[in-house]
Structure 1
Amino acid sequence: MRISSFFASVITAALLGSCAGREPAETTQTPTATTTPLRGTYWVLEQLGDSAVTTPENSQEIYLTLAADSSNRAEGQAGCNRFRGRFTLAANDQLSFSPLMSTKMACPRVSLETRYLNALETTTRYQLEGDTLRLLGAPAGTQVVAQFHAGEAPE
């Protein structure tokens, strides 16, 4: 009886010793960054060309949404006028918009709206990184024409 408990102690010590230097796999893995989906996200304009865009108090937030379904609808707010149209996605991050229709209310920031809608219509590519969307246009789809961040759609 003494011999079998001696062997049991030796085996237990050997098993415990073999696990002592190991760390669980979960502690050595680094979490990966997630990218916000292009479709179905409420994209808030933060830069148009080289200029930062802010939303003045008591103004509509300028945004863009691309339908998550197969309708390829694009819509949004250009400041005080709403717009809608269609978009096309192709290989190699190519993105283009059809001519966009918008309401025609008079606004103090109409020049910003015109520049924004023009930027959308001249888009040829996009870059998506984390919660940032960049629309690229001429020349050769390398110039950032607009930059957005993922936001919360108002209710």
Structure 2
Amino acid sequence: MKNLLRMTVAAALVLLMAGCCHCRSYQRKTRRPLVGTEWQLIQLGGETIRPIEGRFTITLTEQGKLSGAGDCNRIFGPYQSDKDRSLKIGPLASTRMACPDMKHERAFIEALESATHYDMDGPMLLILSNGELRAVFQAVPAPTDPKAKPAN
């Protein structure tokens, strides 16, 4: 009976490890760089956000600048990051257009400014504040050049 239990546990561990290897390979292939990628918000404070082109996006530059868009305003400001994945954003500034619903835009800016760390999962960027998930972004696919020839 003990041998059967040990064999079952060993088989389960082997399957788990084999499954994780595939996950890590997928993550490496689909991971996008933090800097230079346009990130589209897909979750804010546990609430799913429907992606709309040009809204709720951020891009980080090599010069330590963040730019992007909220619901209807442009946002910009400084950020700092290091190899330990710490992240400090802000203070952020924005244009002052009146949006129909400012609730999401304010929550978006607050989530960014509260960031203490980030993590990445494939093409996803997770913004954390002291271990609490505040926002999830998805990498926006780079536009393709219509003149580019398909690879053979």
Length-normalised TM-score, structure 1? 0.70
Q: Provide the alpha-carbon RMSD of the alignment.
A: 2.1
- Bigger CA drift: 89-98 or 40-49? 89-98
Of Structure 1 and Structure 2, the greater helix share is in: 2
For residue 87 of structure 2, the aligned residue among 79, 82, 95 is 95
Within 5 Å, which residues of 2 pair with 1:29-68? 32=25, 33-34=28-29, 35-55=31-51, 60-67=54-61
For residue 136 of structure 2, the aligned residue among 140, 147, 155 is 147
For residue 112 of structure 2, the aligned residue among 111, 116, 120 is 120
In 1, distance between residues paired with 2:128 and 2:69? 20
Paired amino acid for 2:49: V
Structure 2 CA distance for partners of 1:118 and 1:154, relative to 1, 3 Å: farther
Q: Kindly state the Cα deviation for residue 109 of structure 1 after the two structures are TM-superposed.
A: 2.2
Within 5 Å, which residues of 2 pair with 1:72-111? 72-111=64-103
Paired amino acid for 1:47: Q
SS in 1 for 2:111: helix
In 1, distance between residues paired with 2:142 and 2:76? 16
Q: Deviations over 1:31-62 (max 9, x none)?
A: 93322111100100000011011146xx7421
Length-normalised TM-score, structure 2? 0.71
Q: Kindly state the Cα deviation for residue 79 of structure 1 after the two structures are TM-superposed.
A: 1.0
Structure 2 unaligned residues grouped into runs of 5+: 1-21, 145-152
In 1, distance between residues paired with 2:51 and 2:128? 22
Paired amino acid for 1:96: K
The number of aligned residues is 119
Structure 1 unaligned residues grouped into runs of 5+: 1-29
**Percent of aligned positions that are identical:** 33
